[in-house]
Amino acid sequence: MLRRVGIRDGTEVEVRPIAPSDADALRAAFERLSFESRYARFLSPMDHMSNAMVRYFTDVDHHDHEALVASDPETERLVAVARYVREDHDPEAAEAAITVADDWHGRGLGTAMLHELAQRAREEGVTRFTAYVLAGNEDMIDILFRLGPAKVVDRANGAVQIEAELPPAGVSDQLRNLLRVAAEMTKRFRPD
Ligand SMILES: CC(C)(COP(=O)(O)OP(=O)(O)OC[C@H]1O[C@@H](n2cnc3c(N)ncnc32)[C@H](O)[C@@H]1OP(=O)(O)O)[C@@H](O)C(=O)NCCC(=O)NCCS
C-alpha cells in the first residue's frame, strides 16, 4: 500500500492510506500548519483539532471516505493529506480536499496528491469531485465560476463550492486550475 512518489521538484515522498495510528502525526501536522493554510482548508480560523475530529479524519472506511497521507522519508513527518468523502445524496460524487505543509508549498506535492486521490476515487466509483475553495474577492469568484458548475456558499468569507468531473485517467486541466486557484488564495489570504 505504501508507494514512493516523485514530485515536481525532484524529491520523493511516501504515500499511503491514513490509519488510526496516524492520530498523533496528524495532530502534529495540523499544529505546524499556518493560520492561512488552516483557513483555506477549513474555511474558518480553526485553532485546534478535537479528539473527535482526529478520530473522524484518521479512522476512515477507505471506500466512502478515503484519505491518503504523504510523509517525508527524511523527517518521517506527515507533509500532505488528500481526502475525499462521498456525498450522501450522490454516490458518484465526493467532496475532495488537499492540504500540504507550508514548507512544501509550490514544489508539486499538491499536484502529486491530486493525482493519487483521483486514482483512488475512481477505483471506488467516484466520477465527480466537489471542493470548497476560498475565493476571497469577486474576481476570484468569477474565475471559479468559469472553471465549472459553482455556487457561492459563504459570501462573507468568499467561499465557493465547485464541481469537477474526474477524467478516466490522470487529472483534467479543470482540476489543475482549481488547485492553482486554491494555492494562490492560500498565499494571498488575509483575514479581515
Ligand atoms: C492548495 C494547496 C494544496 C496546493 O499545494 P502545493 O503543493 O503548493 O501545489 P503545487 O506545488 O502542486 O502547485 C499547484 C499549482 O499551483 C501553482 N501555485 C503554487 N503556489 C502558487 C502561488 N503561491 N501562487 C500562484 N500559483 C501557485 C503551481 O504552479 C501549480 O500550477 P500548475 O499546475 O499550473 O503548474 C496548498 O496551497 C494548501 O495546502 N493550501 C491550504 C489548504 C487548501 O487551500 N486546500 C485546497 C482546498 S480544500
Q: What is the pLDDT of residues 113-172, one digit of tens each?
A: 999 999 999 999 999 999 999 887 788 888 888 988 988 888 777 789 999 999 999 999
Task: Please tell me if the CB atom of residue 41 comes closer than 6 angstroms to any atom of ligand 1.
Answer: yes
Residue 43 one-letter amino acid: L
CA of 110 to the centre of ligand 1 (A): 6
CA of 107 to the centre of ligand 1 (A): 9
Tens digits of per-residue pLDDT, 155-188? 777 789 999 999 999 999 999 999 999 999 998 8
Task: Please tell me if the CB atom of residue 109 comes closer than 6 angstroms to any atom of ligand 1.
Answer: yes
Crossing angle of helices 173-188 and 109-123, in 10° steps, is 130
Task: Please tell me if the CB atom of residue 86 comes closer than 6 angstroms to any atom of ligand 1.
Answer: no
Backbone phi, psi, residue 122, to 5°: -60, -40
Inter-residue contact 44 to 76 (CB < 8 Å) = no
Backbone phi, psi, residue 161, to 5°: -100, 130
Q: Name all domains of the chain by residue range, CATH numbers in brackets.
A: 3-189 (3.40.630.30)
- Could you give the CA distance from residue 25 to residue 164 in angstroms, rounded to a whole number? 30
Ligand 1: which of 34, 37, 100 to mutate, judged by most atoms within 8 Å of the beta carbon? Answer: 100
CA of 177 to the centre of ligand 1 (A): 9
Tens digits of per-residue pLDDT, 43-80? 888 999 999 999 999 999 999 999 999 999 999 999 99
- Could you give the CA distance from residue 8 to residue 11 in angstroms, rounded to a whole number? 7
